Amino acid sequence: MLRAVVTGNVWSTKRIDGLPNGAFLEVEVEGGGSRLVAFDVLGSGVGETVLVAQGSVAAAWFPGTPPPVDALVIGSIDSPPASS
């Protein structure tokens, strides 16, 4: 899993069949600065810290034949980590 911050929405006027209702979000991985597009069914917003699953774990969440989704927002982090 990756800890990331939602940096924006990715707008798409067409989608493949089989995707549930949700949104494509651009997220920036904390600590590395890399960005990726993740599918979100939770309703996360810009600035929110989220957990992202990748690869087969993300695809396996979908019922039936998994769509080609490589990153899925699976949780919202409510508080920052404790400082050491």
CA of 9: how far to CAs of 20, 34, 39, 59, 78, in Å? 17, 16, 10, 20, 20
List the domain range (segments joined by +) for residue 51: 2-12+21-76
Task: Please report the pLDDT score of residue 79 as a whole number.
Answer: 74
Task: Please report the pLDDT score of residue 73 as a whole number.
Answer: 96
Domain count of the fold of the chain: 1
Q: pLDDT of 28-42, one tens digit each?
A: 999 888 999 999 999
Lowest mean pLDDT among 8-17, 20-29, 75-84: 75-84
pLDDT at 22 over 60: yes
> Domain with 69 in it: what CATH number?
2.40.50.220
Distance of alpha carbon 18 from alpha carbon 62, whole angstroms: 9
Average pLDDT, the chain: 88
Which residues are bridge partners to 73 per DSSP?
A: 40, 52
> pTM for the full model?
0.84
